[in-house]
Amino acid sequence: MNQTIKQFIEEHEAEMIEMRRYLHQHPELSLEEFETTRYIASKLDELGLEYRLMDPTGVMTEIKGPQPGKTVLLRADMDALSINELNDHLEYKSTKEGKMHACGHDAHVSMLMMALRALLAEKDQIRGTVRFIFQPAEEIAKGAKLIVQQGVLEGVDNAFGIHIWAVDEAGLVNCEPGPSFAATDRFQVHFQGSGGHAAQPHMTKDAVVMVSQYIAHVQTIISRATDPMEAAVLTIGKVDAGDRFNIIAENAKIEGTVRTFDAATRDIVETEMKRYAERTAAMYRGKVNFEYERLLDPVINEKRSAELVQSISKAAFGETSVGHLPPTMGGEDFGEYNNYIPGAFATVGTRNEAKGSDFPHHHARFNVDEESLKVGAELYAQYALAYLNQDEF
């Protein structure tokens, strides 16, 4: 471990917390992070670093060491959510009505900026290049794809990211090899029948009957069509049908999400969902429009990268700092980087009931234990140094 990195972060911890609180007060929604982008750029100006502004938002910069080597990318997302914050007791509560950092992206930006500053102070120890990306629009599953299209992975050998995690106790690091976050898909199914008077059902084609039968049977795809050893979730989150109590519905729509880790399972679920929809509509003499959108690919931690995270965590924070929790069915667009280069994505616990940081992500009372920030910042920086300074990887 580089002890100078640890010392630098401890000495400047208060500044990192101050940055996090400023960002928390000024949240911006996905692809609207213009002020956040300017704020990050101003901090890089103060450090004398050149940077590239992404389109429409986001910032990329680099630190090149004196010796040639590989390039590692460190990523933090920076968008907020359309939630009205209820943390009235906080002096740094969101100042923007209906907008809130309810997922910890304010913490991610602050941790990565502190890691950047620590690595800049240790520039002479860097063998290769550390690339930093402050990424927009993770919450709408578009940011990673957008900036990858703009070339942020060109010349990159490995990528590392962190997510503050409200499930785990403050400071606990999780980074298991293999699947970490699930592929996230969205579906919309629109059944079309022929409406009419409730007293004359024989003259209609009832879309409510179609959608109810579909809802009742579609879950058998998970229980009977997919390999039971491969995890899959199919959730219908929204149903919209009918106009009033005495009219048979002409239209019925549902929306939902599918979560998987395995590519073959993902294909099976989509194919079977469409087949069920078409057969159901045909059985009741109706029509159906089936839409299926693959939003996010799974996050897959490359074995050696994940093991490097674990070894760094044990050395920096102690043997008990590493957890071994199973993957989550939640989605994360860091998986887009995995599609091109190896790397790892870690979670850093921030749960502390005594400090009120025990609400789940996307909750109006979400908050973080700021003691966790120095763990995340050091993990970012130590990972970059350790990866670049290995003889082989």
Checking if the pLDDT of 393 tops 80, the result is no
Contact predicate 132/322, CB 8 Å = no
Residues 90 and 239 in one domain: no
Residues 278 and 370 in one domain: no
Residues 162 and 276 in one domain: no
The answer as to whether 393 is a domain residue is no
Is there a binding annotation on residue 103? yes
Residues 174 and 220 in one domain: no
Number of independent structural domains in the chain: 2
State the pLDDT at residue 390.
86
**Alpha helix positions (H), 291-356:** 303-317, 335-338
State the pLDDT at residue 392.
63
State the pLDDT at residue 103.
97
What's the rounded Cα separation, in Å, for the pair 265 and 223? 12
Checking if the pLDDT of 87 tops 90, the result is yes
Checking if the pLDDT of 47 tops 70, the result is yes
What's the rounded Cα separation, in Å, for the pair 92 and 369? 14
Residues 152-158, mean pLDDT to the nearest whole number: 98
Q: Where residue 338 falls among pLDDT bands split at 50, 70, 90?
A: very high
Give me the domain span that covers residue 50.
3-180+298-388
Is there a binding annotation on residue 175? no
Residues 138 and 97 in one domain: yes
Last residue of a domain, one of 296, 313, 346: 296
Residues 71 and 89 in one domain: yes
Per-residue CA distances from 43 to 33, 223, 299, 378 (Å): 16, 52, 30, 19
Residues 68 and 161 in one domain: yes
Is there a binding annotation on residue 24? no
State the pLDDT at residue 1.
80
State the pLDDT at residue 327.
94
Enumerate residues 6+ apart whose C-beta is below 8 A from 279. none
Q: Which entry of 77, 79, 272, 370 is annotated as an active-site residue?
A: 79
> What tokens does 375 get?
């763990």
Hey, is 384 helix, strand or coil? helix
Q: Is 371 a catalytic residue?
A: no
Residues 40-53, mean pLDDT to the nearest whole number: 98
Q: Which entry of 28, 85, 106, 138 is annotated as an active-site residue?
A: 138
Checking if the pLDDT of 45 tops 80, the result is yes
For residue 209, give the CATH number of its domain. Answer: 3.30.70.360
Residues 321-325, mean pLDDT to the nearest whole number: 94
The answer as to whether 333 is a domain residue is yes
State the pLDDT at residue 66.
96
Residues 291 and 316 in one domain: no
Residues 59 and 173 in one domain: yes
Is there a binding annotation on residue 105? yes
Instruction: Give residue-wise pLDDT tens across range 88-121.
Output: 999 999 999 999 999 999 999 999 999 999 999 9
Checking if the pLDDT of 258 tops 70, the result is yes
State the pLDDT at residue 14.
98
Residues 280 and 303 in one domain: no
Last residue of a domain, one of 296, 331, 363: 296
Residues 160 and 220 in one domain: no
Residues 32 and 168 in one domain: yes
The answer as to whether 194 is a domain residue is yes
Instruction: Give residue-wise pLDDT tens across range 264-314.
Output: 999 999 999 999 999 999 999 999 999 999 999 999 999 999 999 999 999
Q: Is 77 a catalytic residue?
A: no
Instruction: Give residue-wise pLDDT tens across range 8-22.
Output: 999 999 999 999 999
> What tokens does 27 get?
């949240």
Is there a binding annotation on residue 302? no
For residue 126, give the CATH number of its domain. Answer: 3.40.630.10
What's the rounded Cα separation, in Å, for the pair 278 and 286? 9
> What tokens does 265 get?
């399972």
Output the CA torsion 18→24→29→32 (10° steps).
Answer: -30
Last residue of a domain, one of 262, 296, 330: 296
State the pLDDT at residue 279.
98
